[in-house]
Structure 1
């Protein structure tokens, strides 16, 4: 199914502009779609589900992902979600730099393009860069076109400097939110105990709960449950594991409890969900 495809003419000032910024503050739910261009997405606030090539992933402030024109993606279950889309036309970029290294392209796997985090100081700097680019790309004279691309290069370089994989150990202890999100995402099959986590890093559990709620709009265990259910959806769609094994891989010790939680979230049992998806994929 081809579905909705976003056109260059609807977003770029002229056919000569290589870069533009689409302000999505707030970002509403948006159906899955593709583009005639590539984009970088910066998530500044709130939370939601990002569906990339049929795979759901919970996103919140500090998340960063790269979308290629061939991808299909959309947003569901949004809650105070605020982001900026930096749209670019790779074929019009003229500066002599290794754009593929800075902007993961079609040959890069999904993890290289979606699963990135930004530190809190990095977010502040990058937001200023995005705002400066947004102003310049609304002009179409030759000098502004070159300056827009230069600002875009600066943004791409800074993004690479401040981004890190969600399971990277190379994070300052002061970045409490990043440490917590890393711990939640790196191994969702294992039990998570906030008190043990805070003891390990010398953090205050109550303060961390409040900080997480203020920044993401949801509680820690609610977010962890979303991570686990999204992983379960992926396994049920694309894997052949037994339901009990899916439950275990997603951090549910009891497969019956997993079925109850899944049914409450999606209105279907895990088995029914798998069967419905397989029917959708079957020919005819």
Structure 2
């Protein structure tokens, strides 16, 4: 059984009662598998990387949101100018009389995927709240600082809850990039036609390609391919499906081509990955 790090409360919190701390990752570096003595929210602002959560790989980029529990195992195996915030918290230290369990739940009863997306408006609202929260946690503690930190944390959680959506769902509102991300999330097992998408939404294909690369550090086709390969890795590990069926479910019409792409990106064939 492999060993992993356990991140300790004493290394992040300045006192035994402090409930919330903000940890900047500008940028996030490669980080080995670990668990925590605390929980954390992970919100990605820019770039991309490979985030492995409880053995499931995710290609993450701007707008991705995770609720990571203390017992969860996760790592960052690939990072490309990946910029994110970790808002770490101890649930047992929260004192305001609100339903924290409901606000801190990253679970969706209709989907087993723990990743969420945050729309552009939600990101714009969350950023100043996190900055304010970080400044408050750095202040010299006084009789009001605990209330200020918890109230800001509460505002952040409400904002995330209002503006989050599952990667395979279409957001209720948002900007062009939000709808493109949702369309890509719905295209893991089927072709994606960017020209048709731009025509339907009356968008400039060239401008959208540039915006996507600026925010994510990848082309649209690279991002979609990486998402499909991550899904393939999950299916290889957790199902008994034939490799040819997995290829089809991940948007590859030819299983031989799927094996070539999978081997090139991961360094091993799908069969070896499953055996490992």
TM-score interval (norm. to shorter):
over 0.9
CA distance in 2, matches of 1:236, 1:112: 17
Structure 1 position 110, deviation (Å): 11
For residue 13 of structure 1, what is the aligned residue in structure 2? 14
For residue 144 of structure 1, what is the aligned residue in structure 2? 145
**TM-score between the two structures when normalised by the length of structure 2:** 0.94
State the secondary structure of the residue aligned to 1:137: helix
For residue 65 of structure 1, what is the aligned residue in structure 2? 66
For residue 130 of structure 1, what is the aligned residue in structure 2? 130
State the secondary structure of the residue aligned to 2:144: helix
CA distance in 2, matches of 1:221, 1:271: 25
CA distance in 2, matches of 1:71, 1:77: 19
Residues 1:242 and 2:257 aligned together: no
CA contact (8 A) 1:13 1:140 kept: no
Residues 1:223 and 2:223 aligned together: yes
After TM superposition, what 4+ stretches of structure 1 lie above 4 angstroms from structure 2? 107-113
State the secondary structure of the residue aligned to 1:227: helix
For residue 35 of structure 2, what is the aligned residue in structure 1? 34
| Match runs of 1:1-284 below 5 Å | 1-104=2-105, 114-138=114-138, 139-172=140-173, 175-276=175-276
CA distance in 1, matches of 2:23, 2:167: 25
CA distance in 2, matches of 1:129, 1:95: 18
RMSD value, Cα:
1.8
Residue 110 to residue 76, structure 1, CA distance change in 2 (3 Å): farther
Q: Where does the alignment leave 5 or more consecutive residues of structure 1 unmatched?
A: 277-284
CA distance in 1, matches of 2:36, 2:109: 18
CA distance in 2, matches of 1:229, 1:214: 22
Stretch deviating more after TM superposition (220-229 or 1-10): 1-10
